Chain A
Amino acid sequence: MSVENRGAGRRRVPLGKIVAWAVLIVLLAITLVPFYWMLRTSFSTTASLPSNSENPLPADFTLDAYRRVLGLSSADESIAAGGSTGSLNFWVYLRNSLVVAVSITAVQTFSCALAAYAFARLRWPGREVVFSIFLAALMVPPIFTTLPNFVLIRDLGLLNTYLGIVLPSLLMSPFAVFFLRQFFLGIPKEIEEAARIDGAGYFRTFFRIIVPMSSAPVTTLAILTYVGAWNEYFWPLLVGQSEDVRVLTVALGIFRAQTPNGGPDWAGLMAGTVIAALPILVLFIAFGKRVINSIEFSGIK
């Protein structure tokens, strides 16, 4: 797959252009087909899957997999259909994921915006030193702080609580500080000076002028943070096992492990993944254009 197949010239409809389109379509198909297959399997009956493995349509169309996964079918029905009695208590896990993702996004963005502004626009002794230290945190691999953080959360008695899950990321993310500082650095000084002349204090300047001006990068950051927090698996796996705080990703991992005697309940698993992926995908479709623009923006900046 190399770029050189694109041939010469742009005016004709060359072989190159056709090849280029073909390549693009192939790559798009590779991206889309797995999602379709996920859907197709989720509407199939697990037992019929082995004999129908090439059929692009669901094997023995049924909504049972979804019923199993959402806990709507009885234990016996589940086991009979090849599943286990494990179910995705969907609404609880959705709530948990929401709580975790929303709180992290809201608090972290706020806290990091404040700090970024202090680093970018306020003058105070030791500013650059402290910022470099903050930045160094970017290079620390999460696993290194994860182990001691686990012990800390345990000692605070916060295992299996919402607070325990969100605390480490709640107040600070080195990337967020860095990202917003970059933007704040680019705001013309005249704006603040104008505000200052009008008698606005630091807080008012920040909240009433700077923040509204930065709605684009702040939104970008918020979206990235939200998706990251929503999809987080490792940390919630360690500290959020119990049913009432379990987030969707962890629940899915546990559901996968509920393999009944024998093999996995594929239809149920795929139904579970569809359900787990749905909230983000819905969000994506609703705010898609904004998300895409935000990500591209973050790349340039």
Chain B
Amino acid sequence: MKWQKSTAIALTAALTTAALAGCAGGTPSAGGDVELNYWLWDSNQQSGYQECATAFTEANPNIDVTVTQYGWDDYWNGITTGLVSGTAPDVFTDHAAFFPTFVEKSQILPIDDAVESEGIDLDAYQPGLTDLWVGADGKRYGLPKDIGLVALFANADKLAEAGVDPTSLESLDWNPSDGGSYEALIAHLTVDKNGVRGDEAGFDKAAVATYGLGLNGAGDGSGETIWAQYALSNGWGYYDGDAAAPEFRYDDPKFLDAIAWFHSLSEKGYMPTLQIATSGIGQQDNYGAGNYAMVTEGSWSAGGYFGLSDVTTVLAPLPEGPEGRQSTANSLGDSIAATTKHPEEAKKLLAFFGSDACQSLIAQGGVIIPAIADQAEASKATFEAAGIDIQPFLQIAEDGGTHTTPVVAQWPDAMAIFKPTMEAYLGGSGDIDSFVDANEQINALYN
């Protein structure tokens, strides 16, 4: 009978609601043991941290650690929602771009006491890195886990075809007016669809087959791996003042000259336009397909690039600018969520993940260069085993030419102003002077 159908519907509804109320969809925890959740976004490092987690549990049998990986875009959504709802992971990999905001909103815990009690030697790290993780309030919130350096990656076959000796890459120079031997090399490596090189007559910049230098987007305010090295080696610095009240210098002529030169590469056809670079497959895929002869990339990507089956890569240090070789140095660090239910255990975990024991395990994965200075040599050997010579990366650090990327308050708001300006300029629709205006707006945030 038809009424049975409606009764059935009503019953289903009632039962479903009851079931839903009971079903919180969470995982029950074993009684007694402490369960810690750890999140990261780099899938390449997941197995390394899994090993660290296992080692940690061996040393601390009553603490269980679960390592979960989320892709970059959704990682931060998840962290925020978690912090807001009290279900955030206890410890998570943090990034300089988000770190200051978490400190500002009191969403992560300081670890000064753990540094003391666990006996962490802050001098063991590469210079400058530990300061990255000190908040604007002077408290320490994290330990550097790796050092991210930048170098020049070149396609060995393309070099050979162009008759370029790979060792010549180590003595490249650059300046914002004519690009020096660096631009000359880029031009020479650029080939159009008719086989004409960028520095030859008849080069058609509208029909380029291989770009001399790749482009990986417009970057954020740090310009890491994209344009930072040029601005920095031109004698520029990100900001004056301290992290709590920075005075940004995006209106500085040294910055503007460097960016203008960088953009000119696209105009001349040696580098893809921003539209092309961001409209399809990424920089690594383009490089792997032979569309880019060279790229400037970070040490954390080395594994991926050298793993490309169709390309043999040669590494070289970044070109020397007017102020020598300068580039960014960054590091990732772990943070403890303020919503954690086990702060003491979480601090232990953080200290362990940042320690020698764990970092040497991670270093063996050959994905990142450890932040602990002593281990740089050991990781060199690991990379060598995979055919990667990381000396070009380490060179700049050894010569003291590294700058840490900005770690300041209100970074997301500042970037909401900066990014469209940079995108518009690199995309060809903005004026170089737009940076002056943007800089003013950004600095207004801090006054």
**CB-CB < 8 A to A99: which residues of B?**
20
Q: How many A-B contacts at CB < 8 Å in the complex?
A: 135
**CB-CB < 8 A to B284: which residues of A?**
261-263
Q: Does A242 contact B (CB under 8 A)?
A: yes
Contacts A208-B3, A261-B304; is A241 near B78 (CB within 8 Å)?
yes
**Which of A75, A208, A238 is within 8 Å of B46, CB to CB?**
A75
Q: Does B26 contact A (CB under 8 A)?
A: yes
**CB-CB < 8 A to B309: which residues of A?**
47
**Which of B17, B71, B77 is within 8 Å of A258, CB to CB?**
B71
Q: Does A147 contact B (CB under 8 A)?
A: no
**CB-CB < 8 A to B20: which residues of A?**
99, 103, 162-163, 166
Contact with A along B106-141 (1 / 0, CB 8 A): 000000000000000000000000000000000000
Residues A162 and B46 in contact, CB atoms below 8 Å apart: no
**CB-CB < 8 A to A159: which residues of B?**
81, 84-85, 87
* Minimum CB–CB distance for B285 against chain A, Å: 4
**CB-CB < 8 A to B13: which residues of A?**
103, 106-107, 110-111
Interface size of B by CB at 8 A reads: 49
9 tightest A-B CB contacts, nearest first: A262-B284, A212-B2, A159-B85, A257-B73, A257-B71, A258-B71, A263-B282, A263-B281, A263-B285
Contacts A86-B69, A258-B71; is A242 near B87 (CB within 8 Å)?
yes
Q: Does A102 contact B (CB under 8 A)?
A: yes
* Minimum CB–CB distance for A97 against chain B, Å: 13
Assembled-state Cα–Cα distance A85/B16 (Å): 34
**Which of A47, A255, A262 is within 8 Å of B283, CB to CB?**
A262
**Which of B25, B47, B78, B280 is within 8 Å of A161, CB to CB?**
B25
**CB-CB < 8 A to B289: which residues of A?**
50
**Which of B25, B74, B285, B304 is within 8 Å of A254, CB to CB?**
B74
Closest A residue by C-beta to B78 = A241
**CB-CB < 8 A to B9: which residues of A?**
106, 109-110
Q: Does B23 contact A (CB under 8 A)?
A: yes
Q: Does A142 contact B (CB under 8 A)?
A: no
Residues of A within 8 A of B (CB): 47, 50, 75, 79, 84-86, 99, 102-103, 106-107, 109-111, 154, 157, 159-163, 166, 170, 207-208, 211-212, 215, 237-239, 241-245, 253-264
> Told that A75-B46, A211-B5, A212-B6 touch, could you supply 16 new A-B pairs with CB distance under 8 A?
A47-B309, A75-B47, A79-B44, A109-B9, A110-B10, A110-B13, A163-B21, A211-B3, A242-B78, A256-B73, A257-B72, A259-B71, A260-B304, A262-B283, A263-B284, A264-B282
**CB-CB < 8 A to B23: which residues of A?**
161-163
Residues B70 and A262 in contact, CB atoms below 8 Å apart: no
Q: Does B201 contact A (CB under 8 A)?
A: no
**CB-CB < 8 A to B304: which residues of A?**
260-262
Assembled-state Cα–Cα distance A254/B25 (Å): 19
**CB-CB < 8 A to A243: which residues of B?**
68
- Most A-side CB within 10 Å, residue of B10, B46, B47: B10
* Minimum CB–CB distance for A90 against chain B, Å: 17
| Pairs A–B under 8 Å by Cβ, sample size 14 | A50-B281, A75-B47, A85-B43, A103-B13, A107-B13, A110-B13, A154-B85, A157-B85, A160-B85, A166-B20, A215-B5, A245-B25, A254-B70, A259-B71
Residues B6 and A207 in contact, CB atoms below 8 Å apart: yes
* Minimum CB–CB distance for B394 against chain A, Å: 21
Residues A212 and B5 in contact, CB atoms below 8 Å apart: yes
Q: Does B7 contact A (CB under 8 A)?
A: yes
Residues B26 and A244 in contact, CB atoms below 8 Å apart: yes
Closest B residue by C-beta to A162 = B20
Residues B85 and A84 in contact, CB atoms below 8 Å apart: no
Closest A residue by C-beta to B79 = A241
Closest B residue by C-beta to A114 = B10
**CB-CB < 8 A to B82: which residues of A?**
241
* Minimum CB–CB distance for B140 against chain A, Å: 29
Closest A residue by C-beta to B308 = A262
Contact with A along B77-114 (1 / 0, CB 8 A): 11001101111000000000000000000000000000
Residues B71 and A86 in contact, CB atoms below 8 Å apart: yes
Residues B7 and A254 in contact, CB atoms below 8 Å apart: no
* Minimum CB–CB distance for B368 against chain A, Å: 12
Q: Does B12 contact A (CB under 8 A)?
A: yes
* Minimum CB–CB distance for B443 against chain A, Å: 30
**CB-CB < 8 A to A86: which residues of B?**
43, 69-71
**CB-CB < 8 A to A85: which residues of B?**
43, 46, 69
* Minimum CB–CB distance for B304 against chain A, Å: 4
**CB-CB < 8 A to A102: which residues of B?**
16
Residues A244 and B27 in contact, CB atoms below 8 Å apart: yes
**CB-CB < 8 A to B395: which residues of A?**
none
Q: Does B288 contact A (CB under 8 A)?
A: yes
**Which of B16, B43, B81 is within 8 Å of A260, CB to CB?**
B43
Residues B77 and A84 in contact, CB atoms below 8 Å apart: no
Assembled-state Cα–Cα distance A110/B283 (Å): 53
Contacts A102-B16, A103-B16, A261-B304; is A160 near B25 (CB within 8 Å)?
yes
Residues B16 and A106 in contact, CB atoms below 8 Å apart: yes
Q: Does B301 contact A (CB under 8 A)?
A: yes
* Minimum CB–CB distance for B319 against chain A, Å: 24
